[in-house]
Amino acid sequence: MLDIHIIMDELQNLSPVLLKSAETASKIQGVRLARGDTRDIRTGLLYIIEDTSLLESFSKNCPLNIIINNANSLPGAIGLECNVVQLNEKMDTQSLYERIQEIIEDFSIWNTSLTVSIINQQSLKNTLEIAALKLKNPIGLFDISQTLIGKAGDFTGNIEGTIWEKVNFFGYSPIDFFSVSEHSYLNKKMEAGEEPFLFTSKTDPSHMQLSAPIRLNSKLFGAIGSIDINCPFTQGQISLVNHIGKLIELALENSHTFLRLNENENYYIENLLGGYMIEERVIEYHLVKKGWRNCDEFFLLNFSCSVSFSIPMYLQVCIKSIQKLFPVSIICLYENSIIVLVRKKEHNIAKQSTQDELIEFVQSNEMNCGISTVFSQFTNLKYYYIQSKFALGICEQQPDRKIVLYENCYWDHVVCCLESAISLKSLCHPKILSLWESNEPAKIELIHCLYAFLLNGKSFSATASMLFIHRNTLSYRLNKISDYLDVDIKSIDSNTLFYLLFSCRIAERL
């Protein structure tokens, strides 16, 4: 809502002074030059006057917002229930009228962009970035556990020692940043009121903090938070934050864009996937709602599709389908993928029957799925997202593989990471490399035999069975490569074993 305080901010070069303030804020929709006739006064307009004697004629029909464009004409006692601002720097009245029209139009364009962002189900990040265009200080949207959901705005000031330093590092406001009494005070203010309020903390007494409560279905959901890191807060800036908060509440109640916030409350997952260090109590707060614990065993599934997930209707269909397949799960969007978290207790991905069902699902929906190893520390989610992302990449490179478990591509991931940092040939045993680069089938077969032998714990029977060859044939080939390497491969130490085993694996990738 555009009010007199926001307009005062925009007219700072004219040194505005608020002479009288109404008890309740009023919305400004337009501007008008006040002449002598006061019969047609509209409450939604801002009136510009030069002659302060006009104030007396407003006694029965008073506009809610008045600007006096005359620094030399001081009004007497103002008994009107309205906002009265006097400009101490004179400006041509027609020019002032046009300037205020520009301010109103500019606010309308910004407000429309913000509203359209919500209506069109754009991302929370995009919505907050539009909101921050009018603000002098960065803002963050936090849930009731003080976990950061999203932020926007530029930091031109030094954040060292401020709450922003902690939030940017951890992804939430640490519990020890505020004292017990401060936590109690903030909780009472948030629960009791709807308007933004200012306060300072003992930890950072040099900065003013602004908090605007956010409610969802009349219940406290969280808050928009900011501090005066770039410049001091004005009443106009507080009014803007209040307006933004009301639109965010509307979005939470009505828009599927905020599905993660409104229905599943999965937004904190994005912080974990992005590598934020989130306190275990915050994780437990959300997991307990599903009857889960941080120490339970989980799988992370990463879904991609041949059809773009940027199509909202299709995305919702995919999410609903996945929810049917995994009814006890957490689902969210991250980096153009659908991330699904399941607990082993309900959905054991290691079971072949579950994998078969999953393969049938992804094939029928033209999807791919990369799956992490089972893990038991939910706070380390980003590591298992990296696993699932690599496994998903294998699916997309090899169209015949619709699902890939990370344990089946672990070696590939290790070699891939090494390849990005160093030449693989430098890690390969010189004689293994020579055999491979000969391109002679018989020599390459020796490498396959050595790899299988070492992989099977140097068991002759297991290796012969794996390669479908006779034990004598295997013994002959192993003796031949032993002579070539000048190593007794039947009794090598652990370091040499790893060197040869890894060299065989690298050679197959060259």
Q: What is the pLDDT of residues 103-159, one digit of tens each?
A: 999 999 999 999 998 888 777 788 899 999 999 999 999 887 777 888 999 999 899
In a domain, 116, yes or no: no
H or E segment at 490? Answer: none
pLDDT at 295 over 60: yes
More confident residue, 258 or 274: 274
Residue 226: both structure tokens together: 């900011």
- Considering the domain architecture, whether residues 274 and 206 belong to the same structural domain is answered as no
C-alpha distance from residue 56 to each of 18, 22, 36, 219, 334 (Å) = 18, 17, 11, 45, 61
In a domain, 119, yes or no: no
- Considering the domain architecture, whether residues 440 and 359 belong to the same structural domain is answered as no
In a domain, 115, yes or no: no
- Residue 285 corresponds to which amino acid? Y
Among the candidates 243, 262, 281, a domain finishes at 262
In a domain, 114, yes or no: no
Q: For position 242, what pLDDT does the model report?
A: 95
> Does residue 388 contact residue 337 with C-beta atoms inside 8 Å?
no
- Considering the domain architecture, whether residues 281 and 369 belong to the same structural domain is answered as yes
Task: Tell me if residue 212 falls in helix, strand or coil.
Answer: strand
> Residue 282 and residue 288: Cα distance in Å, rounded?
10
- Considering the domain architecture, whether residues 182 and 256 belong to the same structural domain is answered as yes
> Does residue 245 contact residue 257 with C-beta atoms inside 8 Å?
no
pLDDT tens readout for residues 446-487? 999 999 999 999 999 999 999 999 999 999 999 999 999 999
pLDDT at 209 over 60: yes
pLDDT at 64 over 60: yes
> Does residue 235 contact residue 302 with C-beta atoms inside 8 Å?
no
Among the candidates 262, 285, 316, a domain finishes at 262
Q: 167-177: b or e for each residue (b if 16 or more CB lie within 10 Å)? A: bbebbbbeeeb
In a domain, 111, yes or no: no
pLDDT at 360 over 70: yes
| Mean pLDDT of the region 357-363 | 93
Task: Tell me if residue 53 falls in helix, strand or coil.
Answer: coil
Q: What is the DSSP string of 262-285?
A: HTS--HHHHHHHTT----HHHHHH
C-alpha distance from residue 369 to each of 75, 205, 304, 360 (Å) = 73, 50, 7, 12
In a domain, 276, yes or no: yes
> Residue 333 and residue 113: Cα distance in Å, rounded?
24
Q: What are phi and psi of 15, to 5 degrees?
A: 50, 60
> Residue 394 and residue 412: Cα distance in Å, rounded?
9
- Considering the domain architecture, whether residues 253 and 286 belong to the same structural domain is answered as no
Residue 264: pLDDT band with limits 50, 70, 90: very low
Residue 203: pLDDT band with limits 50, 70, 90: very high
Q: For position 60, what pLDDT does the model report?
A: 60
Q: For position 252, what pLDDT does the model report?
A: 75
More confident residue, 316 or 367: 367
Residue 410: pLDDT band with limits 50, 70, 90: very high
- The CA-to-CA distance between both ends of the chain, in Å, stands at 64
pLDDT tens readout for residues 180-194? 788 878 888 888 888
- Considering the domain architecture, whether residues 311 and 399 belong to the same structural domain is answered as yes
Of the candidates 320, 389, 324, 311, which has an alpha carbon nearest to the alpha carbon of residue 358? 324
Q: For position 226, what pLDDT does the model report?
A: 96
CATH number at residue 432: 1.10.10
> Does residue 294 contact residue 378 with C-beta atoms inside 8 Å?
yes
Report the mean per-residue pLDDT for the chain. Answer: 87
- Considering the domain architecture, whether residues 257 and 129 belong to the same structural domain is answered as yes
Among the candidates 383, 417, 451, a domain finishes at 417
Task: Tell me if residue 79 falls in helix, strand or coil.
Answer: coil
> Residue 236 and residue 405: Cα distance in Å, rounded?
54
Residue 76: both structure tokens together: 């007497």
Q: For position 25, what pLDDT does the model report?
A: 65
CATH number at residue 252: 3.30.450.40
> Residue 441 and residue 420: Cα distance in Å, rounded?
29
- Considering the domain architecture, whether residues 216 and 315 belong to the same structural domain is answered as no
| Mean pLDDT of the region 265-273 | 77
Burial of 442 (0-12, 13-18, 19+ CB in 10 A): exposed
Please give the distance of CA 95 from its chain centroid, rounded to a whole number.
44
> Residue 406 and residue 384: Cα distance in Å, rounded?
9
* % of the chain at pLDDT higher than 70: 91
CATH number at residue 57: 3.40.1390.20
> Does residue 137 contact residue 231 with C-beta atoms inside 8 Å?
yes
pLDDT at 409 over 90: yes
User: 204: domain range?
Assistant: 124-262
pLDDT at 311 over 70: no
pLDDT at 58 over 70: no
The domain total for the chain is 4
Residue 388: both structure tokens together: 């699932």
- Considering the domain architecture, whether residues 257 and 277 belong to the same structural domain is answered as no
Q: For position 404, what pLDDT does the model report?
A: 96
| Mean pLDDT of the region 319-327 | 88
More confident residue, 358 or 364: 358
pLDDT tens readout for residues 133-145? 999 999 999 887 7
- Considering the domain architecture, whether residues 401 and 373 belong to the same structural domain is answered as yes
- Considering the domain architecture, whether residues 135 and 11 belong to the same structural domain is answered as no
pLDDT at 258 over 80: no
pLDDT at 260 over 60: no
Cα dihedral 378, 122, 120, 3, rounded to 10, equals 110
pLDDT at 423 over 80: yes
Residue 259: pLDDT band with limits 50, 70, 90: very low
Task: Tell me if residue 330 falls in helix, strand or coil.
Answer: strand
In a domain, 153, yes or no: yes
Q: For position 310, what pLDDT does the model report?
A: 55
More confident residue, 266 or 241: 241
- Considering the domain architecture, whether residues 12 and 46 belong to the same structural domain is answered as yes
In a domain, 163, yes or no: yes
Residue 138: both structure tokens together: 């960065």
Neighbours of 217 (CB within 10 A): 9
Q: What is the DSSP string of 82-121?
A: SEEEEESS---HHHHHHHHHHHHHHHHHHHHHHHHHHHTT
pLDDT at 265 over 60: no
